[in-house]
Structure 1
């Protein structure tokens, strides 16, 4: 008779927290990043309260602006996760962003109005499509050189950093292109670039429905394939936390109201009489934030529920084994860099719309912040490990540090020291995590 006794420590001897993590299957890295983000927010808020007499960080206005500022880096970080998982790097994303922004600016300001007429409703649509296409083509070209030309990704993208920044200067002759199409500018946020209170509650309701749907779907899939089920209380806990986070975010964005001057002009234009107590109009979710959420959802589905995503992790985990298994690693590399370029073009839409102009310097040093966001979010430079939500949290951490240091008066030099130190610390912690997990 075979002995089936488990030699490991029984679950009953584990601590309460360990049993909780096992039941809910929460990622310890995710909890660590959320904890670090909470400490950063509380720390900057308390520092402001002690020094200035009031805390300016944990306010609806600052957190709303923080979410908008995170969007551009977060969108590109979603693509950088794929690049780093496959043991590559892309140093050109900031320059691709600037080049795509210039191309979109030229198209919508100098070219399309001459053919379609000023203010034509298709101008912004065609400009966005052009920017996304250019970004995808540039990324695919980089991927082709890396995969089929056997040139290291570091060299190709370092060259791309210089080439596309110079190309942006040549296209616009060094000029700032502004103003962009009014509808296009709404994609960058601001009072007119948000969905308002009603639209935000609709988004919140859809978000809660998605959380509940994912939990139910996941449980059915476990039953279908005879996988172990989470306890009912753990499923209920995840549903409550997920829906609570969505509702809290919705309340937060609806608590940030339009400035008085904008409300006054809006009321005059619409013939609205402002009540004695004032007229309060909520911003709601900013359009760049909704774009980031859409990218995160799509990329998470791609990485977790498609063959493409499994191939990405397989290539990063063991490139030789992936080749022997029949995966076309070279074509996958082209596709991954094309996705990275496409997302850089999408970030260019958000960044130039927010600035209401396209400049040659747009996206300068963004490549460093994007890489840092992915690494801080748990993407391993050794390949094979990384998540989309981790990269977005990493982008939030980076932007929170910058915003907090600006609020408390740190100069640019100190900001660079802190950001660089955090990046090195994140890589060191990743090394320790991988060493202890073996």
Structure 2
């Protein structure tokens, strides 16, 4: 006697929520690591806002946070290319210190006495001197690494000590004040911001740029028969970018000049001060615009130039890159020279913001710069990294530091947290690479 076996009809498979989310990410081409970093940034902001009693997410603190991020963020864009080539630069903080000191001394000792106070040539020549010094230092280190075969870790570790000592030696241990008011604009402050009207104009230009970039990218994909994103995905990604620009502009325009500074501005501009007082917005700070500009240029270099392609080819497989005819030594030297120049730009921002050059300037900035690049998705194994990720990583690092300062945490404890974050970031990168392999 046989037993009847009843079989229940199988239910048709339905798309899970996980599959739907993966489809969404694939359609919009959103980087999951970037998305995770943005989520972590929001968690950090909300956490510090609650712990600080509602002072973190204010227009004043966010404006200051953007200015404080600029110096390290500029250097982080160069550190991406250094790490992509499987190298490291431990000397960027010391290069910042020595180039800042060189600029301050050149300005106070030679340029201002020769050209006069607040001459337009003073700040231009000061910046040129700093960029030349940074380029020379970076090229020297790159030459030793590329052509003499000394490991980058050793060369830049020596540079960390050499250039820090040189900063002290150049000024004999003194603090050198900045004398040119035009140069101070590079550091931000009441005179180093562009106001509400110009901020909205820049926002409109940025939104138009996003739209043109999206249209151009779609045309290029059609031209070379590459897959294109759905229209809804194009609209969504553009809308999110435009929304971010509008929100950022609203925030910086919500931070107003203090009463005395507003009255001084009104007197200088011939504006009558009403009884209720003036409400003059700071707008975007000059160092923030400089930071964004450097990020755009570095993104173009990394993604659209032959030099950028060579950098990633070397990081992916140095032997294959050399066999393909790439002059790996010259490219490596150029990467470190570029890093030196960006350290000088960071020095100009830092020195102008502090209105002086000090011997301690840039101390531990190499830690924050490397951490920003690694947190932003740059692999220490080389061959992978994005400029935008490093810029966002710099904002994450500065948010941590700013939040800890608001909470009154001691500097040693801040260093412990930053070090722990760096280790965790490298650990997560290792796991990500292992799963992607």
* TM-score, structure 2 as length reference: 0.95
Give the whole-Å Cα distance in 2 for the aligned partners of 1:36 and 1:402: 15
Q: Output aligned runs, 1:373-384, within 5 Å.
A: 373-384=372-383
Which residue number corresponds to residue 393 of structure 1?
392
Which residue number corresponds to residue 52 of structure 1?
none
Give the whole-Å Cα distance in 1 for the aligned partners of 2:39 and 2:15: 26
Count the aligned residue pairs: 425
Which residue number corresponds to residue 25 of structure 2?
21
Which residue number corresponds to residue 434 of structure 1?
433
**2:237 counterpart of 1:238:** yes
Cα shift readout 1:191-211 (whole Å, capped 9, x = no counterpart): 110111111011101110111
Give the whole-Å Cα distance in 2 for the aligned partners of 1:148 and 1:401: 39
Which residue number corresponds to residue 5 of structure 1?
none
* 216 and 271 in structure 1: CA distance in 2 versus 1, 3 angstrom threshold: closer
For structure 2, which runs of at least 5 residues remain unmatched after alignment? Answer: 1-12
Give the whole-Å Cα distance in 1 for the aligned partners of 2:419 and 2:16: 43
Give the whole-Å Cα distance in 1 for the aligned partners of 2:16 and 2:364: 51
Question: Bigger shift: 66-75 or 12-21?
Answer: 12-21
Q: Output aligned runs, 1:32-111, within 5 Å.
A: 32-49=36-53, 55-111=54-110
Kindly state the Cα deviation for residue 262 of structure 1 after the two structures are TM-superposed: 1.1
Which residue number corresponds to residue 339 of structure 1?
338
Secondary structure of 1:34's counterpart equals helix
Secondary structure of 2:356's counterpart equals coil
Cα shift readout 1:173-207 (whole Å, capped 9, x = no counterpart): 11111133100001000111011111101110111
Give the whole-Å Cα distance in 2 for the aligned partners of 1:242 and 1:359: 39
Secondary structure of 1:87's counterpart equals coil
Cα shift readout 1:392-433 (whole Å, capped 9, x = no counterpart): 111111100111111122111221111111110000000000
Q: Output aligned runs, 1:170-319, within 5 Å.
A: 170-319=169-318
Cα shift readout 1:256-282 (whole Å, capped 9, x = no counterpart): 100112112333444433222220000
* 11 and 100 in structure 1: CA distance in 2 versus 1, 3 angstrom threshold: farther
Give the whole-Å Cα distance in 1 for the aligned partners of 2:352 and 2:194: 16
Give the whole-Å Cα distance in 1 for the aligned partners of 2:14 and 2:25: 15
Asked if structure 2 preserves the Cα contact closer than 8 Å seen for 1:11 and 1:19, the reply is: no
Which residue number corresponds to residue 112 of structure 1?
111
Cα shift readout 1:210-257 (whole Å, capped 9, x = no counterpart): 110110010011011110111011001111111111111111111110
- Answer with 1 or 2: which has the greater Rg: 2
Asked if structure 1 preserves the Cα contact closer than 8 Å seen for 2:178 and 2:352, the reply is: no
Give the whole-Å Cα distance in 2 for the aligned partners of 1:164 and 1:365: 13
